[in-house]
Structure 1
Amino acid sequence: MAALGTIILTNTSLRRVTVMPRAALTSSNYKMRVPYELKQGQSRHFHELPSGLNMEFIFQKGRDQKPQNPPLVFVHGSFHAAWCWAEHWLPFFSRHGFDCYALSLLGQGESDSPDGTVAGSLQTHAADVADFIQKEIQLPPVLLGHSFGGLIVQYYLANVGNGKLQEKELSHPYLAGGVLVCSVPPSGNSGLVWRYLFSKPIAAFKVTRSLAAKAFQTSLPLCKETFFSESMEDHLVLRYQKLMTESSRMPLFDLRKLNASLPVPPMKDSSIRILVVGANDDFIVDAEGLSETGRFYGVSPVCIEGVAHDIMLDCSWEKGAKMILSWLTDLDREMAK
């Protein structure tokens, strides 16, 4: 595993574009039965997508924001929603001068659900993120994705400027950078599953039972082992377990559509800076999965000691936040040149 550190690519200078923001205050019809109470300085909004569906986002403005600081847009993974970033990371990065936007993908959190029981795909989720950035964000943001949200970010990166989604051309707005946090690798999770079956059969059974059968929703020990460190306090695990159960009223992906989209195509614009971050105690994404993602983007992945898969909620959440802040600080210097 790589030691904790800062990884920076030095490519061509970042391009800047300005788009007009659009206030989005329409509301969703769905309300979580276990609502997430916003923290001081946070506000909940709803972005209306071209489909007419509303996508929840939680916003927290950066304090003493520097002109060169890019906005941060956060994309969650399965069984999570915007609240998972709002708990610790939005206040942290806001204190350091970054405007923060945490999204809830359709069918998750307090966002609307598509008609029927049709789950999303890499294409539809990336298109929704692109529409949000195009209409709500004024400067090229850094896009951060966790777990399967990282796979959505990878698809976005592969289609910046020239993606074809839903049978029409859709140019994904440019990014200042991408951060893949405990991300599913570009080939998907099948390699992870097979490695676990052959090397850690008991762990493979547990992770399958926890995620595929959703046993984490009713078993506190299994939820803790799947997402958090051993030292995580049970009352916090219980709180997050309830929020995760409420957040995922439909699957994040249609698995057939997902598998047909894999592996994710390579990124076409090498000037976009990429950071790949993993957790040493990750029960879901193993060391080889982290290395695969790093090789795919030509960067050395950073593995953080003492944290588990839910790096942004774990009891040592500051470790990942501080490392990403260091990377962002170096990115800011590049953008200011």
Structure 2
Amino acid sequence: MTARRLKIHHHPAPHHSQRPPLLFVHCGYTNSRCWEHNFIPYFQQKGYDCHALDLSGHGESAGHERLHHFGIRDYAHDVAHAVGELPARPVLIGHSMGTLVIRHYLSGAPADSAAGVALLSPVPPTGTGGSASRLALQQPDFFTEIPNVIAGKPTANTLKVMASVYFSPDMRPEDTLQFMPMIGNESDQAVAEMVALPFTPAPRTPRLPAFVMGGSHDAVFPASMLFFTALPWRARPVTIDRAGHMLMLDPQWPQAAAALQHWLDGLPPREG
């Protein structure tokens, strides 16, 4: 039992089915609300029991006052706790930092702890250093605008920059305003660990059904890096045309959800 109080949001399917439950793990600087706009309602209606975890120090989970002490392995312990609360082996679905958290959880978990894993806009094996350097050159305002978002005081320039970095080119800057309240601080330790990723031993990759997906216009982690994430999982990467980093919130989210559903529907039914 974790020493931290974690919030696991349950969104049940309208009817019982033999499909495995889904456990959604959010990315950095946000919380589980990012899944609630589009993906969770979509998969509920497709017969999937959905669960969304707020990592420690995020959303409705405890630990906000100690956020900067949490690292990726602490978040992996959160996932372990959440999996233990579910009635059947889940499919783990992570976005960005959440994909790295899931990988660390699976590297130390029993082989039968998950029915599958879906990695959306994943952190590449090269870590986030290259991404930060590229953004500093191409979007220098990004690092000065992030504090405005976290403080809840976005300007017109804030919305323009956030739209260009995180979303599809089809997303109007003013449409990003609805998503700004879900952005918050991230652990300095977790951020540093993602930068140092290429200098740390790679976690063990279990033999599980795996799905890797990203957007063709992802300005954070280019689609060309999907191959390197998918390789150890023996998965075929899927690229959603014109989608940005936030696949679940972009105008292209229906295409992303449909691609994920097609893979999910091919998994074996839940046990029991």
Residues of 1 paired with 2:267 and 2:20: CA distance? Answer: 9
Maintained 8 Å contact 1:58/1:86: no
CA separation of 1:101/1:252 partners in 2, compared to 1, >3 Å: closer, same or farther? farther
1:314 to 236, 245, 250: 250
1:64 to 5, 15, 40: 15
Structure 1: runs of 5+ lacking an equivalent: 1-48, 162-171
Deviations 1:177-210 (A, max 9, x none): 000000102342224445x38xxx7326355555
2:82 to 125, 129, 132: 132
Q: Which residue of 2 aligns with 1:330?
A: 266
Q: Which residue of 2 aligns with 1:16?
A: none
Residues of 2 paired with 1:288 and 1:75: CA distance? Answer: 23
2:140 to 198, 205, 217: 205
Query: Is residue 226 of structure 2 the alignment partner of residue 287 of structure 1?
Result: no
Q: Which residue of 2 aligns with 1:266?
A: 204
Residues of 2 paired with 1:84 and 1:314: CA distance? Answer: 11
Query: Is residue 32 of structure 2 the alignment partner of residue 82 of structure 1?
Result: yes
Q: Which residue of 2 aligns with 1:242?
A: 181
Maintained 8 Å contact 1:186/1:296: no
Residues of 2 paired with 1:275 and 1:191: CA distance? Answer: 24
Query: Is residue 109 of structure 2 the alignment partner of residue 160 of structure 1?
Result: yes
Maintained 8 Å contact 1:154/1:186: no
CA separation of 1:252/1:142 partners in 2, compared to 1, >3 Å: closer, same or farther? farther
Q: Structure 1 residue 325: deviation in Å?
A: 0.3
Query: Is residue 58 of structure 2 the alignment partner of residue 119 of structure 1?
Result: no
SS at match of 2:59: coil
Alignment-mate amino acid for residue 13 of structure 2: G
Residues of 1 paired with 2:142 and 2:222: CA distance? Answer: 12
Query: Is residue 84 of structure 2 the alignment partner of residue 146 of structure 1?
Result: no
Residues of 2 paired with 1:153 and 1:186: CA distance? Answer: 14
Greater fraction of residues in helix: 2
Deviations 1:230-279 (A, max 9, x none): 322444311101221xxx24427444455378343231x31x11111010
Maintained 8 Å contact 1:223/1:241: no
Maintained 8 Å contact 2:163/2:172: no
Q: Structure 1 residue 296: deviation in Å?
A: 2.7
Maintained 8 Å contact 1:77/1:148: yes
% identity of equivalent residues: 26
Maintained 8 Å contact 2:13/2:47: yes
Structure 2: runs of 5+ lacking an equivalent: none
Aligned pairs, how many?
263
Q: Which residue of 2 aligns with 1:93?
A: 43
Q: Structure 1 residue 289: deviation in Å?
A: 2.3
2:166 to 227, 252, 263: 227
Q: Which residue of 1 aligns with 2:119?
A: 180
SS at match of 1:237: helix
Q: Structure 1 residue 294: deviation in Å?
A: 1.4
Alignment-mate amino acid for residue 224 of structure 2: E
Residues of 2 paired with 1:223 and 1:101: CA distance? Answer: 27
Compute the TM-score of the two structures, normalised by the length of structure 2: 0.86
Compute the TM-score of the two structures, normalised by the length of structure 1: 0.71
Q: CA RMSD in A?
A: 2.6
CA separation of 1:252/1:332 partners in 2, compared to 1, >3 Å: closer, same or farther? farther
Residues of 1 paired with 2:16 and 2:67: CA distance? Answer: 42
